[in-house]
Amino acid sequence: MADISPTPSSDSWHLSKSVPITLIFGLLVQAGAIVWTVSMMIGDIQDNKDDLIAVQARLARVEDAVHNQAVSMARIDENIKAIRQAVERMIERQQKASYQQPN
């Protein structure tokens, strides 16, 4: 039986001298560009996160203002109803008084 175990020199990784240095340089430039792009994306994501937090806080303030306006409108409506009823009672009293006065 023949022993087929790899020898240490054939098992190790090596780079042939026929690989151009420009290919290696190009791969390194691409790796650098990928790292730079990812770092820019992470920065943009963080900026968007900060913007979203600010928008959410602003939205909460707007919702509070809208709620307060709705409450104010309800109070105004109730005041208008009360004023209308008071005016109608005054008109009814005036009309009753005008009918009861002798000419």
pLDDT digits (tens, 9 = 90+) for 11-23: 677 777 787 889 9
pTM of the model: 0.53
In-domain check, residue 36: yes
**Overall number of domains in the chain:** 1
Domain for residue 4, yes or no? no
Q: Please report whether residue 13 resides in a domain.
A: no
Q: pLDDT digits over 17-51, tens only?
A: 787 889 999 999 999 999 999 999 999 999 999 99
Q: Is residue 80 part of a domain?
A: yes
In tens, the pLDDT along 73-95 reads 999 999 999 999 999 999 999 98
In a domain, 25, yes or no: no
The arithmetic mean of pLDDT across residues 52-59, rounded, is: 97
Q: Which domain holds residue 84?
A: 31-100
**What DSSP string describes 54-99?**
HHHHHHHHHHHHHHHHHHHHHHHHHHHHHHHHHHHHHHHHHHHHHH
Q: Is residue 3 part of a domain?
A: no
**Domain for residue 64, yes or no?**
yes
